[in-house]
Structure 1
Amino acid sequence: MEMNYFVFGTNNMAQAVAYYDQLFDGTGLNKIHGQGRMTLWGNERFMFALAEPFDKNPASNGNGTMLGFHVDSIDEVNRLHKKALELGGSCEGEPGVRSNMHSAYIRDLDSNKICFYTRNN
């Protein structure tokens, strides 16, 4: 079994799409759908989406909920962490070694938590 897709809710689709368009630039995740209440980026193995909640209630982030993106190198972990902060995200953990992985943590513009990581070997 493997994860196929992940969806974050947003309360400001235009702002969130602009953030992720810039964050995903050069990562291999490409926008494949951007219409109505959902925008989707993906590659041959994984999809990530932003959605305005179907029930019309405000989107909220889950306490303890986090999405992890595995990347190819320590340099890419560091680059994405820095870029996420430059785009207005907030730091939830500076790049460093944790559990034999090089990882860094951010929150996006809707306070969703993301980890960028790579194996530390």
Structure 2
Amino acid sequence: MNYFVVGTNNMKAATAFYDGLFDGLGVNKMVASERMTYWLADDFAFAVALPFDEKPATNGNGTMVGFNVGSPDAVDRVHQLALDLGAADEGAPCPKGPKYSGYVRDLDGNKICLSD
């Protein structure tokens, strides 16, 4: 995968949320324009964007983006951090298949998986 983009209705709030979520994970922010902000790592890019068609952003039913945060302890820590930043809990961290994962929804309702 090259990149993943989720929509937002509030760029300022979304940027603050992901700045906090990615703090300490080696992900660097790049503001591409007033309508799109990227966070770049060695092997992926993630962005939040105001929709091009200027209609309200909505979350996709069945859509989820996953971030590998490195270890079960990091999953626990980043899951709690996301909740502290205003995310909604979608599943406490626990073993899920071959991974240890926790789930949240960001401020716009986009589903995020945090795994080891």
Same-fold status (TM-score > 0.5): yes
Distance 1:100 1:51 in 2: 32
| Stretch deviating more after TM superposition (26-35 or 44-53) | 26-35
Whole-angstrom CA distance in 1 between matches of 2:27 and 2:39: 6
Range moving further from structure 2, 6-15 or 27-36: 27-36
| Structure 2 counterpart of 1:91, one-letter code | D
SS in 2 for 1:76: helix
Q: CA deviation at 1:33?
A: 2.2
Gaps of 5+ in 1: none
Q: Alignment partner of 2:113: what SS?
A: strand
Which residue of the partner structure matches residue 18 of structure 1? Answer: 16
In the alignment, the residues of structure 2 paired with residue 36 and residue 54 of structure 1 have an alpha-carbon distance, to the nearest angstrom, of: 12
Aligned to 1:97: 95
**1:115 maps to which of 107, 113, 116:** 113
Unaligned runs of 5+ in 2: none
Q: CA deviation at 1:49?
A: 0.3
RMSD value, Cα = 0.9
TM-score (norm 2): 0.96
Match of 1:87 in 2: 85
Percent of pairs identical after alignment? 56
Structure with greater contact order relative to length (CA < 8 Å, sep ≥ 6):
2
User: 1:35, CA displacement in angstroms?
Assistant: 2.5
> How far off its partner does 1:36 sit?
1.5
CA displacement at 1:112 relative to structure 2? 0.2
Q: How many residues align?
A: 116
- Equivalence for 2:30: 32
1:77 equivalent in structure 2 = 75
SS of the residue corresponding to residue 110 of structure 1 reads coil
